[in-house]
Structures are given as structure tokens and as C-alpha cells.
Amino acid sequence: MNAYPDAAGVPDRVPNGVPNGVPVDVAGLAARLDHSLNGLGAVARTGKLVEVAGTLLKVGGIDASLGEICTLSDVRGRVLQQAEVVGFSRNLVLLAPFSQTVGLSRTTRVTGSGQALAVPVGPALLGRVIDGLGQPIDGRGPIAAETHAPVYAAAPDPMRRKMIDAPLATGVRAIDGLMTLGEGQRLGIFAAAGVGKSTLLGMLARGTACDINVIVLIGERGREVREFIELILGESGMARTVVVCATSDRSSIERAKAAYVGTAVAEYFRDQGMRVLLMMDSLTRFARAQREIGLAAGEPPTRRGFPPSIFAELPRLLERAGMSDRGSITALYTVLAEDESGSDPVTEEVRGILDGHLILSREIAARNRYPAIDILNSLSRVMPLVVNDVHLAGASKMRKLMARYAEVETLLQVGEYRSGADPLTDEAIANREWLESFLSQRTSECADAAQTAELVRAFAGDAASYGS
């Protein structure tokens, strides 16, 4: 039999590469072989489902890479669903399915796409609601995409990021006055359940001075999604908003992907030179979804059962927001405060990455003061960069009086403090009612940031007049 069936005239044996003393045209032979192989076309990389292990699928006989999207189909070629490669185990590929595993069998075929997940982006996204995989779920038909953006992308080069040097008006007095945000800042909103977190997000979505809102809802109750869109955001808020939603019943991979999809959408608008407000509710549920995937893939549990990959994914996700050389993404991430002691690993990690934290307090909410922001325990790290010294002095004085009142509140309740014993305490008592009024705000009210700043600057000069 001829050893080179595609090369006519080549003998069975080629001693020392020289048949009959004539040199072989190796380059020409290689070119003909390459042409023949190219003519065969690309061979589909197809494997077979071997095992369903909890929320993971184990597939054999397929060559796929991490992050690749695979299609699952039955023996008749009917597409059942898609899945993403999340790991490897010996000679098997581990997939996380995008939906339920009902209907899969040992005859299910798995075909690799050679591509990672990408989301359709463009101006047509405004006012739309999409799922955690970038597909529309609002019943308004397909999205006329301008292009597709990969959900995994690198953060902006730190040396090409613009400095944060401009304040961002939010319309919330407590924030604009006492913990001013900067355009391109990343802030964590730490709150327990039921203290007005979603209501505050709605106020920020309606009142913040930005071009585009991207709101990511991860692990929410199904009934809350429409309530948030129609009652909290409203028609005016939705006009400049893209909502990404993966409710609690969706697969862990979709809940995790929602965070990346929302960030990719925000990055697209930032690259168009726009000021984007990205709000993600919540980062804790993103971490829980990643925990489900990591543990199912065989990662060892560490603090609170979270695998090590969580603490690598958080900075990769959060660093994508912020300033670039084109536009800005100001990002607000909510974190569920599960532990009052602050020992929750996700809380600790996020607090160390972001540019500030805003604490919502149950005690303040119980006093019916909304938004229930705990000013004394909240911090904006970029505030000194975006306001003048007089504003800083006014905010510092307000915080100082609030702190002093908190120290003597118990004495006041039992009647143990006598007026005139301490000038600072007397000033704190005199200004208590005005400060509470300043920090309180109706959900429908959008405070003028310039007027708020003027009140704070004036407070630096003469606080006593406010309590009179």
C-alpha cells in the first residue's frame, strides 16, 4: 500500500528521503496535503453526555476550553439547551447547564461552539429587559443589536484610566452632602433585608446625573422584578435604563452570568463616551451562584463554604467598572449584610476592593427615617477629591455633632445630662432635629445637589443657627 495516498507517484519506500537518488519536494508535498485537509472542512467537536452530577454535566469525547459555550441536542438533532465549560475532571469536560437538566439522557450529544458567551449590545437595548444570558424577556421581540460584546473582558489599563475629579449628583441629600460620590466611583451598599435597599436604588436610578442606567437584578423573587420596574423605576426611569434579570429560580450559571452580562452592557455604553450608572443587586447572590458552581466542580470549600475561585472572580468583575479613557461607569453594588459583626467573607472582600461603602441600618429604619443611611459608619473614599475644603469642613462638623449625640443619647433618655455641661453636646442637641430633617427624604423627591452642597458649606460657618 502506498504510504502517501494523496501524493501520486511517491513510492512505498523512501530510503533516506531520496527515492531513486532524486530529492523529494517536501514543501510541495506538505502544501498538497494541507490543501487536501482544508478541503475536508472543519470537523464538529462533538462528545457524549456521560453523567449528570447535581448541577453539573460530565461529557466525554469532546475537546473544549474553559468558558466555551456548548450545545446539547438529542439523537434527532433537536437542540435541548446550552451549557458552559466550567472545568475538567480527568478526561471528562464539566459543563454548567443554562436551564434544568430534565430531558437529558445518555444519548444526548454535546457540540462545542468554539466561542464564549457574547451579549447583543446597541442603542436598541434602552428600555429593554434581558435575562442573565442577554436574551430579551419583556415580550417585545428580538433586540436589533449593533454588535455583540464578550461577557468576559479585561479591566481598563490602570495607567490609562482618567482620575476621578468630578462629583456625581444623585439627588439624595445624605449622599450628595455627607458622602459625595465621584463620577467613576465604585460603591458598596451594605444592608440587611427589609431596610429600603431597593427603594434607594430606585431613587438613585431616577435622580443620578448620568446618561444610561444598567440595573442588574440577581436572585430576586419573581414578583419583585415587575414591581421594581413599574413601581420603583417608573416609565421615566426605564427610558434610559437596561435591566438584566436572573431570578432566584434560574440556574446558578445564569445567575452568575447576569453580573458579567450587565457589566458588558455598561462597558459598551462607556466606550461610546457616555456616563453610565451600573447598579447590581446583589453581589452576595452572585457570589452564592459562583459558590454553587465551584463546589459542584470539586473546588475545596474555604471560609463560609466559599471556594477560592470566588475571591479571584470578585476583583476581576469589580475592576471592570470605573473610569476609562472614553467614558465612565459609576458602579453601585449591594451586599447582603448577613452577619452584624462584619465577619462575612464576601463583605470583607468587597469592602477592601471598592472605593467606599454605604451602610443601611435597621435601627434608623425603625425610627422611620428613610433612606436609612448610617452616616457615621459610611464612607466615600473619593469625596476629598471632588468637593472643596469648605464642603468637607461642613460635612465633618455634621458628622461630629451626630457622633456626639449618639454618645450622650442614653443620658438624655434617662435625664442625666444637664444643659451647659458641654458646649459640643449642647450644639449637637440643638441641631438634632434639623440634621434628622436634612437626612430624611421622600422617595419621590430629587434634591438639588447644588442646594445640598450650599447647606453643608453654610453649616461649616454657623451650625448654631440651624437648631434655632
Cell 454618645 belongs to: 407
Whether 348 and 448 share a structural domain: no
Q: Can you read off the three cell numbers belonging to residue 396?
A: 465633618
Yes or no: say if 85 and 67 are a contact pair by the CB < 8 Å rule: yes
CATH number at residue 358: 3.40.50.12240
Task: Look at the block and give the residue holding cell 530529492.
Answer: 23
Report the pLDDT value the prediction gives residue 8, as an integer from 0 to 100. Answer: 45
Amino acid at site 81: Q
Taking the alpha carbons at both ends of the chain, their separation in whole angstroms is 107
Residues 31 and 99 placed together within one structural domain of the fold: no
Same domain membership, residue 325 and residue 195? yes
* CATH code: domain of residue 437: 1.20.1270.330
DSSP β-bridge partners for residue 186: 331
Residue 342 has which C-alpha cell?
462584619
pLDDT at 37: 42
CA distance 391 to 220: 38
Same domain, 52 and 137: no
Closest CA to 460 of 394, 412, 403: 394
Distance CA 299, CA 309 (A): 8
In this structure, are 31 and 103 located in the same domain? no
CATH number at residue 56: 2.40.10.170
How much is the pLDDT for 391? 96
Do 276 and 147 lie in one domain? The reply is yes
Measure the CA–CA gap between 140 and 395, rounded to whole angstroms: 47
d(CA 26, CA 7): 11
Structural domain ending residue among the three candidates 75, 101, 116: 116
Read off the pTM: 0.85
Choose one of 340, 364, 385: the last residue of a domain.
Answer: 385
Question: What's at 382, amino acid-wise?
Answer: V
Q: What is the pLDDT of residue 18?
A: 46
Q: How far is CA 412 from CA 223, 363, 376, 419, 433, in A?
A: 44, 18, 20, 10, 14
Q: Are both 343 and 256 inside the same structural domain? A: yes
User: Do 196 and 299 fall within a single domain?
Assistant: yes
pLDDT at 5: 45
Asked if residue 349 and residue 418 are part of one domain, the reply reads no
DSSP 231-287: IIIHHHHHTTEEEEEE-TTS-HHHHHHHHHHHHHHHHHHHHTT-EEEEEEE-HHHHH
The DSSP 8-state label assigned to residue 301 in this structure reads: P
Verify that 294 and 435 share a domain, yes or no.
no
Q: How many domains does the chain have?
A: 4
Q: Which residue, 89, 51, 71, 55, is CA-closest to 293?
A: 55
Please check whether residues 395 and 374 belong to one and the same domain: no
Which residues constitute the domain of residue 101?
Answer: 46-116
pLDDT of residue 30: 56
| Residue that the C-alpha cell 442614653 belongs to | 410
Whole-angstrom distance, CA of residue 281 vs CA of residue 459:
35
**Whether residue 136 is found in the same domain as residue 241:** yes
- Asked which of 330, 352, 385 is the last residue of a domain, the reply is 385
Question: Within the chain, which residues score under 70 in pLDDT?
Answer: 1-44, 338-342, 462-468
**CA atoms of 316 and 312, how far apart (whole Å):** 7
68 phi, psi to nearest 5 deg: -75, 145
pLDDT on residue 102: 87
